[in-house]
Amino acid sequence: MKLISWNVNGLRACLTKGFDDFLQSESPDIIALQETKLQPEQVTYAPNGYHTYYFSAQKKGYSGTAVFTKNEPERIRYGIGDPRFDDEGRLITLFYPGFAFVTAYVPNAQDGLKRLDFRTEWEAVLREYLRTLAKDGPVIYCGDLNVAHQEIDLKNPGPNRGNAGFSDEERAMFTELLNAGFVDTFREKYPDLAGAYSWWSYRFHAREHNAGWRIDYFLVREQDRSRIQDAVIYNRVLGSDHCPVGLLWEGAWN
């Protein structure tokens, strides 16, 4: 199976920058989107051959997630069961007989870490949610997780130490998630590969100089690590300040 995740930083804008061409070219079994920035009445895009599921934030032009899948799931869950987070449209779960597919747009801690407490509360709820799902079978968790876990995961770790996305607290929370029984699929396949990033600031020609961060992930249960065929970063794909990331997974829908 080919699975893709992409923070599109506004789906309507990304559609004018080649999103549909990318989707048709790669033809993933499932593609998950973050930061769609769509209200329900603005949802008009439904690609041929896919079942489409959108989850919007109550605030206009903010957050939001979506999943397009070739196979209809047995059921869908929107949100994580806590209105503090669900009002921001941050998580969708698709349940198949063979696995649960979860995509999330994790809250940004923001400048000065002013939203770190909110982020910390999210991480605790999310971690328990994933652990509960993992008791019943394989879980594939993907999205913009808004953290560069190790120094290898960003171009300039020194100056960014303590900033949102590379604070000690956020990195420790990601470690805690891994210790709860999950594997970072990209590092499983490429443990020492530097310069592999999925987000670049629009400032200072960051993408041109590959001064980026790897903050978009696919995670799976530790016991399913042998099913990771490959992990991909589509760093030449434009259309957003993020690029898509992918997972080639040895598995079936049932």
Say how far apart CA 223 and CA 201 lie, in whole Å.
Answer: 35
pLDDT of residue 69: 98
Which pair of structure tokens corresponds to residue 225?
Answer: 């690590």
List, for residues 15-51, the tens digit of each pLDDT value: 999 999 999 999 999 999 999 999 999 999 999 999 9
Extract long-range pairs of 159-167: CB within 8 Å, 24+ residues apart.
162/113, 164/108, 164/109, 164/110, 164/111, 164/113, 165/108, 165/109, 165/213, 165/215, 166/213, 167/109, 167/113, 167/116
Mean pLDDT throughout 230-242? 98
Task: Say yes or no to pLDDT of 122 above 90.
Answer: yes
Active-site entry in 54, 96, 144, 184: 144
* Known active-site residue 96: no
Task: Say yes or no to pLDDT of 254 above 90.
Answer: no
List, for residues 124-171, the tens digit of each pLDDT value: 999 999 999 999 999 999 999 999 999 999 999 999 999 999 999 999
Under 8 Å between Cβ of 25 and 35: no
* Known active-site residue 144: yes
Active-site entry in 45, 96, 105, 141: 105
Which pair of structure tokens corresponds to residue 215?
Answer: 């903050």
Confidence of residue 116 (pLDDT cuts 50, 70, 90): very high
Mean pLDDT throughout 185-191? 98
Torsions phi, psi for 205 (to 5 deg)? 55, 40
Supply the mean pLDDT for the chain. Answer: 97
Confidence of residue 204 (pLDDT cuts 50, 70, 90): confident
Over pLDDT 70: what percentage of the chain? Answer: 100
